[in-house]
Amino acid sequence: MPARLPDLHRFLTSLHPYDAMTAAELDRLIDAFQLRQYGKGQHIYDLGEVQEGLYVIHQGQVEVRDENDVPLSLLGVRNSLGERGLVRDGFAVTSARAVEETTCLLLPAAAFKTLLEENEQARRFFDRSRTRAKKHDLASTKVEDLMTRAPMACAPDISIQAAAQMIRDRRISSLCVAEQDALRGIVSVRDLAGALAEALPLDTPVAQIMTPDPLTLAPSAIGSDVLHMMMEHRISHIPICEGPRLVGMVSQTDLTRFQAVSSAELVSEIAQAATAEEMAEVTARIPQLLVQLVGAGNRHEVVTRLITDVADTATRRLLALAEEKLGPPPVPYLWLACGSQGRQEQTGVSDQDNCLILHDDVTAEQMGYFADLAGFVCDGLNTCGYVYCPGDMLATNPQWCQPQRIWRDYFSRWIKTPDPEAQMLASVMFDLRPIGGSKALFDNLQEETLGRASENSIFVAHMVGNSLKHTPPLGLLRGFATIRSGEHKNTLDMKHNGVVPVVDLGRVYALQGRIEPVNTRARLKEAANTGALSPSGARDLLDAYDLIAENRLAHQARQIQRGEAPDNYMAPSELSDLERSHLRNAFVVIKSLQSALGHNFG
C-alpha cells in the first residue's frame, strides 16, 4: 500500500466489515489495496466497462448514475462503490465520476472475490443481490407485511347503490361484506358492473351479488401464497382472516407496490419531477418504503440512510427548480441540512432543518434572491411532507441565511459565550451537512470551528452538560419510566429519551476528537479510534443505540401497517418480556456512559 496513507489501518478499522477482521486478515487486505486519484469531473468507471474491483472513498465525493444517466447517489468518505457493478457478469451497470478531487482505495476484483469467499462478515455486507432478493422476495415476506389492515367492510343488507358509493368515496376496488367482524363475502367493481348490466334495482341487497365465502389466507401466510392463489383462481383480491375474523385485505395493487417500491426508484422519479407537487406524490410512498425495508430485516442505519437520500434528492431538485425560476445565483451559496437529515438519520417522522451559507461577496441587494430561493425550497419541502421546523431553524429565517463571515462570527460567539441558547444552537449546527451548492464554503469553516471548540474546555464542559439533559426512561419500579399523562400516557419517547441521548453523546465525542462526520454511528466508531471513547464503551454504546433505533423503526412500521401516522411513542406492552429486558439493558448502558462523561467533567 502507498506510504502516503499511513493511517490506512485506522481508516479501515472504522468501517464495516473491516472492523470485524483479525489483524492478520486486515494486513493482507491492506497489501492488496491500490491508490487511485481522480480530478474533479473525471470518470472512475463508465457504464458497461469491465469492473476493476471495489472502490473505497478515502477523500472527496463521487456521483453514481444509472443507465439512464439519472443520479442515484452522492457518495462521500468511507462509502464503497463498485460492488454494484459486479451484478452483471463483471460489467458496470452504473457510472461514477469524481465531483471534486477524490482519492479512492481500489481492491482489485480478484482480491475482492477472495475476500468474499473467505470472510463471512464481508460476504453478508457486500452481497447486494441477496439483499435485493430479500427486500422484494414474496416467498420470504409474510402476508401481514403486505396486507391493508382494517379493510373497508359493509353489512350484507346494505344496497348495491350504497356499496358502490362506498367504493367510489374510498377509491377502492372491492368491499368486504361482514357481520360483527366475521367475513361473509366480497363484492368487487366487476360485481357491481354485472348488477348494472342486468339492470338490478339500486336497493338490491349487496348479499345478492357478492361472492360468498371467498378464498382467504391467514396473516402468517407468505406473499407467494397470495400470488399463486390469485393466478390459479383468477382473482385480484384476497381477504385475510384470523379464524372467521376479517383483519386485512391484499390486492394486486398491494403486490405491485411491494415489488416496485425502492429508494432508487423514488430518487429517480424525484430527480425528474417538474414541481413540488409531483415530488409529493413520490415522497408519499416513503412510509411504504420504511415498512418494506424494516420488514426485510435491514439495519436501522441502512433504512434511515436510504430515507434521507430521498430527502436530499428532493432538496437538490428544488434548488435546481428554484434556479430555473429565479435565474443563476449572483454569488456561490451552500444549502445545508441539520437535525436528522444532516445526520442521515431520518425515519418516518421528519421535519426540515436547514440553512444557507453565502459567499462573502454577496451584497445587500442580492440577499433578496436568496430569500426567494429559500422560500421556494422550504415551501417545496413542506409540500413534500417535510414540515417546517417548529423552532424556525430554516433558511427562510434571515438569521440562518448569511454570508460565511457572519457564520464564522456565530460559531466564534457561541464558543466564547456558551450560554444555554448558544449551547442549543451549537448543538444543532454541529450536525450540519452540505446538500447542494458550493461545498468549499463549509470545509474551512467546519475544520476551524471544530478546532476552536475542542480547545475551549469551558465550552466543551457546557456541551457535556447540555448532552445530559435527555436521559433514558429508566424507573426504579417496573423497569421503565413511561410518560405519566397526556396523549402519550404510558409510552416511551423513543426519540427524546432513546435516540437523542446517544446522538448527544456522539456529538460530544466528535467535539473532543475533532471528528468531522455528523452521522451518530460514524461518530461513535471514530471516537473509539481517537481515544475519546474506549473500545469496549464504543461497542456497548453502539449495541445499545442499534437496539433502541431498530425498536423505534419497528414501532413506526407497525403503525404504518395499521394505517396510522408514525410517531416516536412506543408502549412497552408492544414488546415481549425478553425484548423489554434487552431494551432496559440498552438504556442502562446509555445512562452509565452519561454518568461517566458527567463525572469526568465535574
Question: Nearest Cα to 229, choosing from 257, 260, 202, 255?
Answer: 255
Whole-angstrom distance, CA of residue 577 vs CA of residue 568: 20
Long-range contacts of 256-259 (CB under 8 A, 24+ apart): 257/285, 257/288, 258/136, 258/138, 258/141, 258/146, 258/223, 258/292, 259/136, 259/138
Quote the pLDDT of residue 88.
43
Angle between helices 109-118 and 23-32 (to 10 degrees): 160
What residue ranges define each of the domains in the chain, with the CATH number in brackets? 8-126 (2.60.120.10), 140-258 (3.10.580.10), 305-452 (3.30.460.10), 466-600 (1.20.120)
Count of residues in the chain: 602
DSSP secondary structure, 115-137, as one string: HHHH-HHHHHHH-HHHHHHHHH-
Q: Is the dihedral of CA 45, 47, 50, 54 positive or negative?
A: positive
pTM over 0.85: no
Question: What would the pLDDT profile of 456-485 be if each residue is shown by its tens digit?
Answer: 888 888 888 888 889 999 875 457 889 999
pLDDT < 50: residue spans in the chain: 1-4, 84-89, 128-136, 477
Quote the pLDDT of residue 134.
40
Question: Nearest Cα to 191, choosing from 224, 164, 231, 226?
Answer: 164
Whole-angstrom distance, CA of residue 409 vs CA of residue 412: 5
Quote the pLDDT of residue 73.
58
Residues 468, 549 contacting (CB under 8 angstroms) = no
The identity of residue 200, as a single letter, is L
Quote the pLDDT of residue 87.
41
Residues 326, 333 contacting (CB under 8 angstroms) = no
Provide the grid cell at 23.
489483524
Provide the grid cell at 38.
481522480
Question: What would the pLDDT profile of 71-130 be if each residue is shown by its tens digit?
Answer: 555 677 877 777 543 344 456 667 888 999 999 999 998 888 888 888 876 776 665 433
Whole-angstrom distance, CA of residue 245 vs CA of residue 190: 25
